[in-house]
Amino acid sequence: MTTLPGPGAHVLVAGGGVTGPAVARALLRLGAAVTVADGKPVAREKIAAEVPEVAVVDLDDLDPAGYALVVVAPGFRPTAPIVVAAQDAGVPVIGDVELAWWIDRAGAFGAPRDWLVVTGTNGKTTTTQMLESILAHAGLPAVACGNIGRPVIDAIADAADPRVLAVELSSFQLHWAPSVRPRAGVVLNIAEDHLDWHGSMAAYTADKARALTGDIAVVGLDDPVAATLPAATGFTVGEPAPGQYGVRAGMLIDGAGSSIVPAARVSPPGPAGIADALAATALAQAVGVTAAQAGAALTQFRVGAHRAEPVATVRGVTYIDDSKATNPHAAQNSIEAHERVVWVAGGQLKGADIDPLVARVASRLAGAVLLGVDAELIAAAMARHAPDVPVVRVTSGDDSRVSPVTNDASRSIGTSVAGDVRVSGDADAVMTAAVHAAAGLADVAGQSRTPVVLLAPAAASLDMFRSYGHRGEAFATAARALGAAS
């Protein structure tokens, strides 16, 4: 660990977003002189108002030479100009999580805490929420933080002094936190994601694997990449080997063979929810929680918004918002929890290959409604691997009005494209049209077996929506409106 920046140290914080104010406040508490740099005027105004004690400057063309340390927001790539310039000038570059670790290990904000780190391509937030719930049920002063929303550095500065941190970390955060050695850490799974940031699958995997450098390492044994990483134990949704976590006779069991909770009581249902529950239990047991305590908490746990959340049932069709499924691996888990699905998908694929997902789930698809910047890539994959599944593409245009979409059954069966829908209006209008199209496909498919309508985009949301939450809310609003109109 590098020496903490104290009185007299001049520290540059690059990025004034979610973590910037928290980092600035922590550095001021240590006595450092702080400059926050951001390229957006709105962000600079915001942090100047929130933390008036810091200097606020424009990030563009800033020379980091002369600073003792640069703390970057997680989204900064290793090739970002400010990072390269700092490294060329011999200035250390770290992330906010790394700074939080330095502060915590030094005892600067109280006695060091137990860090329980959760990472993976998918399931991080649900697992972290489960973990926090288990810890609280067991009576441990704990808090969820990190990528889940609350900066870790805020959590360790909390006057409530949580003793255990349930820390969700993204691959970006782990890249910029090389010193973190948690009490226990888990890699849930690893699939193609953020390769545009990391540069390669190997680099992405290496950053994820940093969660396993602490005392106890846990991996998802059903995932072909995570299972190859060195670990003390692991979990499977099947029958576990001795010392592993898994499912036996419909019951989740821990590494000692003790019963945790019936699989049917786990929310969200399906293999992904069970895997997350096993991972959360494994981490909680690293700080003394029993299988019975974990099971009691899991029976009461309910998944958060936009994570396989049923939002409406209209004419016997259930509409499910899994907007958090922002990559193909997450969408696969979501789709495979259901026998028959009208799939609402699309957005920014971020370079991920969609073909393996479509090929795997084709037999479950009763239809697909595609939207967003990479809709054509998904449509092409559907044509290759699911040519008999009807597809509707919803695009925005200025020459059409928004109206309910009714699918013509004669066009829908046995064709790769059921129709193209053009709407005018904002992203919410596009989603409304998409939900109407999905309802039409579900009505046709329901003549044989009623499907669910599932928003599992397999892609990021920022091409159209403010966030995955906004996308999920638009879907839920449109689905509920169907019920009100029927």
Q: What is the pLDDT of residues 261-287, one digit of tens each?
A: 999 999 888 898 999 999 999 999 999
- Residue 147 assigned ligand-binding role: no
Q: What is the mean pLDDT of residues 124-134?
A: 94
β-pair type (184-187, 114-119): parallel
In this prediction, residue 26 has a pLDDT band, given cuts at 50, 70 and 90, of very high
- C-alpha distances out from residue 56 to 17, 27, 37, 41, 434, Å: 13, 14, 6, 10, 43
Dihedral (CA of 257, 263, 266, 267) sign: positive
Phi, psi at 349, each rounded to 5°: -75, -15
The whole-angstrom separation of Cα 250 and Cα 253 is 10
Q: What is the pLDDT of residues 310-345, one digit of tens each?
A: 899 998 899 999 998 999 988 988 898 888 999 999
Residue 148 pLDDT > 90, yes or no?
no
Using omega within 30 degrees of 0 as the cis cutoff, is the peptide bond preceding 268 cis? yes
The whole-angstrom separation of Cα 59 and Cα 152 is 24
Inter-axis angle of helices 427-445 and 468-485, to 10 degrees? 50
DSSP code of residue 263: G
Q: What is the pLDDT of residues 342-375, one digit of tens each?
A: 999 999 998 889 999 999 999 999 999 999 999 9
* pLDDT, mean over the chain: 90
Those residues whose C-beta lies under 8 Å from the C-beta of residue 47, and which sit 6 or more positions away, are 16, 20, 21, 24, 36, 38, 54, 56
**Residue 156 identity (one-letter amino acid):** I
Q: Do residues 457 and 466 touch, judged by C-beta distance below 8 A? A: no
- Residue 120 assigned ligand-binding role: yes
- Residue 432 assigned ligand-binding role: no
pLDDT at 194: 61
- C-alpha distances out from residue 408 to 145, 279, 411, Å: 48, 46, 5
* Helix intervals (H) in 107-178: 124-137, 152-156, 171-175
- Residue 126 assigned ligand-binding role: yes
More confident residue, 375 or 411: 375
In this prediction, residue 407 has a pLDDT band, given cuts at 50, 70 and 90, of very low
Q: What is the pLDDT of residues 69-94, one digit of tens each?
A: 999 998 899 999 999 999 999 999 99
Q: What is the mean pLDDT of residues 6-31?
A: 93
pLDDT at 403: 33
Six-digit token pair at 23? 């980092």
Q: Do residues 457 and 345 touch, judged by C-beta distance below 8 A? A: yes
Domains of the chain, start order:
10-91 (3.40.50.720), 109-300 (3.40.1190.10), 309-396+416-485 (3.90.190.20)
DSSP code of residue 121: S
Number of Cβ within 10 Å of residue 117's Cβ equals 33
**Residue 167 identity (one-letter amino acid):** V
pTM higher than 0.85 for the full model? no
3-12, 132-141, 425-434: range with highest mean pLDDT: 132-141
- Residue 39 assigned ligand-binding role: no
In this prediction, residue 413 has a pLDDT band, given cuts at 50, 70 and 90, of very low
Name the strand (E) or helix (H) holding 419.
Answer: strand 419-423
Q: What is the mean pLDDT of residues 154-177?
A: 94
In this prediction, residue 306 has a pLDDT band, given cuts at 50, 70 and 90, of confident
Six-digit token pair at 226? 């995570």
Residue 159 pLDDT > 50, yes or no?
yes
3-state helix, strand, coil split of the chain in percent (to 5) is 35, 20, 40
Name the strand (E) or helix (H) holding 316.
Answer: none
- Residue 125 assigned ligand-binding role: yes
Q: What is the pLDDT of residues 176-220, one digit of tens each?
A: 999 999 999 999 998 766 666 666 888 889 999 999 999 999 999
The whole-angstrom separation of Cα 428 and Cα 396 is 11
- Residue 397 assigned ligand-binding role: no
pLDDT at 191: 79
The whole-angstrom separation of Cα 284 and Cα 272 is 18
pLDDT at 2: 66
In this prediction, residue 308 has a pLDDT band, given cuts at 50, 70 and 90, of confident
Q: What is the mean pLDDT of residues 231-240?
A: 97
The whole-angstrom separation of Cα 195 and Cα 203 is 9
Inter-axis angle of helices 271-285 and 328-335, to 10 degrees? 110
Residue 404 pLDDT > 50, yes or no?
no
The whole-angstrom separation of Cα 425 and Cα 373 is 16
